[in-house]
Amino acid sequence: MRWSPEGWLAGVTRLASPNFGERPAGEVSLVVIHNISLPPDEFAGDWVEKFFLNQLDPQAHPYFATIAGLQVSAHFYVRRDGRIIQFVAGDRRAWHAGRSCWRGRDNCNDYSLGIELEGSDTQAFTAAQYDALWQLLDAAVARYPITAIAGHSDVAPGRKTDPGPCFDWAAVRARYPALDLPAEVAT
Ligand SMILES: [Zn+2]
């Protein structure tokens, strides 16, 4: 996959989110993996896209009323069918990790790419999603000095649980043996 100069991937759907900023140190060395579904555990509709664009209708579902005011984003969102949507350029800081820390370094949004997989903590991700994830990770490693891949639960322990127990960290380890991964999957 090819990148534009500012870090948009060619060939993926682009929905530019207003929820981004500059990277204080100007570098990207971490990928944070998440899961999300709106409403939780439902995979129809385009509510996540609306959420990341600040267009989620709080009336459309009781759960939406609890989150509609949040301003969040991720660089990439991978639907169940493997479709990739990009919301924020890779060179910019997206708002996905919140209060977070990886290997003693705070504010992971400053120096990470955020990838959201459409899913939940209780349902397996699809083969098409892993295919898309490998494409994204290969592209990330090709453009940025990535040294680590972590889950949201690894950078915000006790506060976040995603990508959850269904995520195949062993497959990540097999594909990226040189990268720093969460301790429970280190060989
Ligand atoms: Zn998350």
Active site residue 6: no
| Gap between the Cα atoms of 121 and 81, Å rounded | 18
pLDDT exceeds 70 at position 187? no
163 C-alpha to center of ligand 1: Å?
A: 7
85 C-alpha to center of ligand 1: Å?
A: 16
Q: For 33-55, how does the pLDDT look when each residue is reduced to its tens digit (9 = 90+)?
A: 999 999 999 999 999 999 999 99
- Token digits of residue 147: 């040294």
| pTM to 2 decimal places | 0.97
Average pLDDT in the 139-150 region? 98
Which pLDDT does position 160 carry in this prediction?
Answer: 97
Query: Of the residues 6, 27, 116, 118, which is catalytic?
Result: 116
97 C-alpha to center of ligand 1: Å?
A: 6
Q: Which long-range contacts (CB under 8 A, 24 or more apart) does 61-65 make?
A: 63/38, 63/39, 64/38, 64/39
**Mean of the per-residue pLDDT values of the chain:** 96
